[in-house]
Amino acid sequence: MTTQTLSHSQSQEAVSAYRWLQLVVGVVCMVAVANLQYSWTLFVPDIQKTYGWSRASIQTSFTIFVLMQTWATPLLGILIDRYGPRPVMLLGGLAAGSAWIVNSYATSLTGFYMGAAVGGIGASCVNACAVNNALKWFPDRRGLAVGLTAAGYGAGAIFTTLPIAQMIKSSGISPTFFLFGLIQGAIILAAGAFMRAPQAREVRFSEHVLQSRRDYTLGEAVRTPVLWVLMLMFTCTITGGLLAVAQLSLIAQDFGVKDMQVNAVFFTMAALPFALMLDRFMNGLSRPLFGWISDSIGREKTMFFAFSLEAIGILALANFGANPWAFVILSGVVFLAWGEVYSLFGAITGDTYGTKHAGKIYGLLFLSKGFAALFVPVGNLIMEATGTWTTVLYIVAGMDLVAAFSAILILRPLLVRHHARDAATKAALGGALKTH
């Protein structure tokens, strides 16, 4: 082996090790910010008990959080593509910490709404930076890398579910908001200081998944039908999961299983906290698992299987959720089949449009989460009007099935034509260059 070859090999090994370090940084930040979304449900019953507000008015905070998180993402994508991820991630750390500190002093709905808005910006900063960095560093393992990053957000709250629940019980909601706000903000600031985007020579493409070698601008992406189909599918699939995240404690309460004990051989636990812990684990597991699967068999086939499984899980929960064991297991199935939306849609965006403008394009696609969040308080209203969660769960299961069949029947043919046009354009440009 020549000295030049050896030097190149060592350089490649160094880049490979460094990109995994960048992935770890992103995952740590996602774990730290996960409480903003996934631990909110723990506070809702005590907020209602303390202030006497209606569920729908309290859960408007969750909707505001998700709307700010999603609507801020396109703007943050522009900043990330222009200035890099580090300054945006540091802004996210400040906002994530401040959000729960605001909540700790809130004594009115307006105060909680303000905290939710600040938290949405913080979560948007962290999510946009971490996902975009994974897309750019790992084009050859995009599904796995984005899945691991998203797993930090989906499973991160598993470490704090019990401590937060116990502190709420012993100290109340305000001290709990304050302490965990400080902790999560500090972690993001410390880890985010090490984040950076890759250079062109530091990336390599996949040989198994169709990937565009062309970097589309946001304007070009908007003019392709693929983006609009992806937005529709994203909205359909994410609605059910967001409903479960925000309302799981209320669903458990209305099903009558919230405090029912479940004997799991080595321990006994109430159905709701048991379900929450299992859900966090399954939500986190699904993201790298389905991302890895999609790297091997393709995004569209994986989407069809996962979205269909989510629909089946939701339908079963609607019919058998009054049994505590069924509630725990079926909610786990729902989160296993839902969590992967963040890895699959992020990965397919990079595959389709390249990574140079991925921040802006994925930011636009991520607006779908904001549209879906509007259904969370609507779900409460439907439940109160019908007296049961069954109607709500049947609606979101139907939306999952629409997305599942769209992946195979609509998205797949569109992507084949999209990549064929890319290949034809590349061939035409190559021929033109040869003639000159």
Task: CATH number of the domain at 346, please.
Answer: 1.20.1250.20
Q: Do the domain assignments include residue 287?
A: yes
| Residue 432 identity (one-letter amino acid) | A
**CA angle centred on 273, ends 275 and 48, rounded to 5°:** 115
Token pair of 39, please? Answer: 């631990």
* Residue 147 belongs to domain spanning: 10-199+212-435
Question: What was the pLDDT predicted at 427?
Answer: 67
Mention every residue, 6+ apart, whose C-beta is less than 8 A from residue 356: 81, 215
Is residue 345 in some structural domain?
yes
Angle at which helix 299-320 crosses helix 225-255, to 10 degrees, equals: 20
* DSSP code, position 200: G
Asked if the structure places residue 193 within a domain, the reply is: yes
pLDDT in tens, the chain (436 residues): 554 544 445 455 556 778 899 999 999 999 999 999 888 988 998 999 999 998 889 988 988 998 898 888 888 888 988 888 999 999 999 999 999 999 999 999 999 999 999 999 999 999 999 988 998 888 878 888 988 998 888 777 878 888 998 999 999 999 999 999 999 999 999 999 999 988 767 666 655 566 666 889 889 999 999 999 999 999 999 887 777 777 787 788 888 888 787 777 767 788 887 888 888 788 778 888 998 898 888 899 999 999 999 999 999 988 898 898 988 899 888 888 888 888 899 889 888 998 788 778 888 888 888 788 777 778 878 888 888 888 888 988 999 999 999 999 999 999 989 888 887 776 665 554 444 4
Residue 329 lies in a domain: yes
Within a domain: 68? yes
CB neighbourhood size of 178 (10 A):
17
Classify 371 as helix, strand or coil: helix
| 86 neighbors 116 (Cβ within 8 angstroms) | no
Residue 342 within any structural domain of the chain:
yes
pLDDT value at residue 389: 83
Nearest by Cα to 150 from 353, 396, 323, 340: 340
262 forms beta bridges with 269
β pairing state of 268-270 and 261-263: antiparallel
Residue 399 lies in a domain: yes
Query: CA angle, corner 237, sides to 205 and 328, nearest 5?
Result: 110
Encoded tokens for 208: 């198994």
- 386-399 per-residue burial string, b: 16 or more CB within 10 A, e: under 16: eeebeebbebbbeb
Structure tokens at 240: 């059910």
> In one letter, which amino acid is 54?
S
Please count the residues of the chain: 436
Is residue 222 domain-resident? yes
How many independent structural domains does the chain possess? 1
Instruction: Give the per-residue pLDDT at 205.
Output: 61
Whole-angstrom distance, CA of residue 243 vs CA of residue 99: 22
Q: How far apart are the first and last CA of the chain?
A: 38
Tokens representing 35 are 């409480």
The whole-number pLDDT of residue 78 equals 86
pLDDT at 373: 77
HSE-CB at 54 with a 13 A cutoff on CA atoms is 7
pLDDT of 8 reads 45
pLDDT at 276: 80
